[in-house]
Structure 1
């Protein structure tokens, strides 16, 4: 163990996860990077997985140690989600247990509290005061604006008042504010009169070396019916969550305009709340050019993307998109060197900025189909150009080292 002068970085993120359990990797990758520079890193997460509806570990406290500088700490927060009320109770339990946890390498020097929910900010601030540490707020979603379309009337007013209290309080108390959305500083500055210099944009990134390693996996690891379609057709592919926000009904409806092109198939890989609705749409309209597959292991996604011809991403209009978005899917898609069609009105489309594909308005199946046909006819020219542009852009701007280096600047300035 090296000198105690080395800074200890404490990261609070309710839903952070490590490779042992799968899931989001932003803070694990940051921990790897910082610990390689001999910073002590502790990540405090919940062992309950919403997506899997179970606990990763039975222990009340589970510590994974990755090297002499880096611990990943799972707290058994209760109860399981089940309902909105239980979800909130789980959040509260995380806040309380994260604050009370004390078994660190050494006292924290910098506390980064990430807003998968803003109750983490409360725990983070209390910890920072206890140890006289710098306090950094990370804004993954603009609470409560990201929930604007989910509520109405008096419920919306109540939800907004509650979460705006957290925003106002902890934005002002923070030494620095990190946002993933590129224009979030406008919202924070306009609504809460926070100095622009206090806000730093650090988007999501990708472990591109790991992505490329996964490309070397045998294609026989893929579901054989999926592999057969990818091998034999011109596939427009979506991978990820089948949720309302992803605009997948437009992709399915676009298939109605593509039926005369026997080579073109739409492939949807994933699971989520919209799965049955999409299946019913496909069956009712007898769309034999759309095929859905269950969620696959994340390590297999690069193979699926690479074997596809065009990649689709869509987002429905939401008030929060005025401030842009950083989406992990973008960087996976660009790393695959494939042309992308992005159906969204999100401000500052990174797909257009990188010239990695085409950005079109959402909710227009005919326009989407026309753009698919255009790429089908020009895949060896325009398609190759878009693919190369995307790969170059992500290599330059969104690798783990680039993103972690930006975090390091904030840590050293704090």
Structure 2
């Protein structure tokens, strides 16, 4: 006889290890928070383990040991402060992993039913595996970037570098011991099949949006207010406003964008464009020097602002630039740019200057995929969007918003994730 409970997924305690996790008042990468909120709403207890110090935090003062935001419990694991990408950052990674190991002896946190480890670097999978074994829990390895492939292809690091070799060993270990691999890259399973003879179960869990639930807030910080004032001035002048929020490093291809703007200046259209670069990084000083050298007066640099303010600036722009180096060997497995989700949520047409498989811009037909990161191709993409009427650009952006609401809603992603964990 039926007891009426068929199809009901039992509630679980999810341990989510994410070195660089963000959330309201914590940091801009909100994936852990949005997934956690959806799981909590579905009745699953969720604890996020984040490094006490990391370079994506809103505050340089670090995090309090514990915090609960809308039901999602955050536990900050001791990890030293650092700057840049040198030895200090490597030691911070090691600190996080050793701190995670010590979770096995904590009695103030309920034991997990599943341990999900999500980080650009794969090293945290080792303590996650130990924790899962100790608590007889399932282990999920979540791929955000394929290391060491991304390190070699995008950063140009030698394949024989000791760091790369160790990454490769840990990556293979992760595929062998995991009950499930979840990835933000739709084609990551193709890569996994080349790495191990018996691949684990796989589920596609992309970056997402909360369409209609998060609209940002009008900037009140000094830098944010100045940037918004400039955008308003550009809008009064009838300019097409192109925005890039986020890191300004070599992988973001902002030098290509500035070269494209320089080319367009030579064509006499610079007065019809405004370019807002929000964020900072290792290339910022070089980019500013180039803009000064070429007298690119229509390019404005805005230092990092709170995520809510960045969303507001995006919503008041016309085109989003999803900058990246064109590295087909990496992007053949898909892309997972947070900024693309932000652009889609804001119904902004997108320029994607790479050749990438499984990319949502092409699937949603909500922008221009150039197929390369050549400055001339980026310039042509800008001109093609500029040639559209505001209504045509609005419809293009709306296609992206509808696509994100259907495919990339975090409630849906979180539900699919739990179902895959149950099946694993």
TM-score by length of 1: 0.89
Residue 124 of structure 1 and its aligned partner are, at CA, apart by 0.8
Give runs of aligned pairs for residues 140-151 of structure 1, distance below 5 A.
140-149=144-153, 150-151=155-156
Distance of 1:385 and 1:17 partners within structure 2? 32
- Structure 1 gaps, min length 5: none
- Matching of residue 241 in structure 1 with residue 247 in structure 2: yes
1:97 matched to which residue of 2? 99
Q: Is the 8 A contact 2:18 2:49 kept in 1?
A: yes
- Matching of residue 11 in structure 1 with residue 16 in structure 2: yes
- Matching of residue 406 in structure 1 with residue 416 in structure 2: yes
SS of residue matched to 1:228: helix
Distance of 1:382 and 1:219 partners within structure 2? 33
1:64 matched to which residue of 2? 67
Give runs of aligned pairs for residues 285-364 of structure 1, distance below 5 A.
285-318=294-327, 319-364=329-374
Residue 105 of structure 1 and its aligned partner are, at CA, apart by 4.1
SS of residue matched to 2:300: strand
Residue 210 of structure 1 and its aligned partner are, at CA, apart by 3.7
Q: Is the 8 A contact 2:54 2:81 kept in 1?
A: no
Distance of 2:23 and 2:272 partners within structure 1? 40
Q: How many residues align?
A: 403
Deviates more, 1:393-402 or 1:313-322: 313-322
2:277 matched to which residue of 1? 268
CA deviations 1:140-183 (Å, max 9, x no partner) are: 11111110133555x63533321121111121111101111111
User: Of residues 185, 192, 216 in structure 2, which corresponds to 1:188?
Assistant: 192
Give runs of aligned pairs for residues 361-380 of structure 1, distance below 5 A.
361-380=371-390
Distance of 2:203 and 2:402 partners within structure 1? 24
Residue 266 of structure 1 and its aligned partner are, at CA, apart by 2.3
User: Of residues 27, 32, 41 in structure 1, which corresponds to 2:37?
Assistant: 32
Distance of 1:122 and 1:71 partners within structure 2? 22
Distance 1:109 1:255, change over 3 A: same
Distance of 2:274 and 2:73 partners within structure 1? 45
Residue 186 of structure 1 and its aligned partner are, at CA, apart by 0.6
Distance of 2:156 and 2:288 partners within structure 1? 27
Residue 394 of structure 1 and its aligned partner are, at CA, apart by 0.8
Distance of 1:81 and 1:278 partners within structure 2? 20
Distance 1:76 1:284, change over 3 A: same
Q: Is the 8 A contact 2:243 2:275 kept in 1?
A: yes
- Matching of residue 206 in structure 1 with residue 209 in structure 2: yes
CA deviations 1:89-123 (Å, max 9, x no partner) are: 22222112112122344221111112332221111
Distance 1:394 1:219, change over 3 A: farther
Distance of 1:309 and 1:82 partners within structure 2? 32
- Matching of residue 171 in structure 1 with residue 180 in structure 2: no
Residue 395 of structure 1 and its aligned partner are, at CA, apart by 1.0
1:254 matched to which residue of 2? 260
CA deviations 1:58-100 (Å, max 9, x no partner) are: x6xx111346x64210122136356633322222221121121
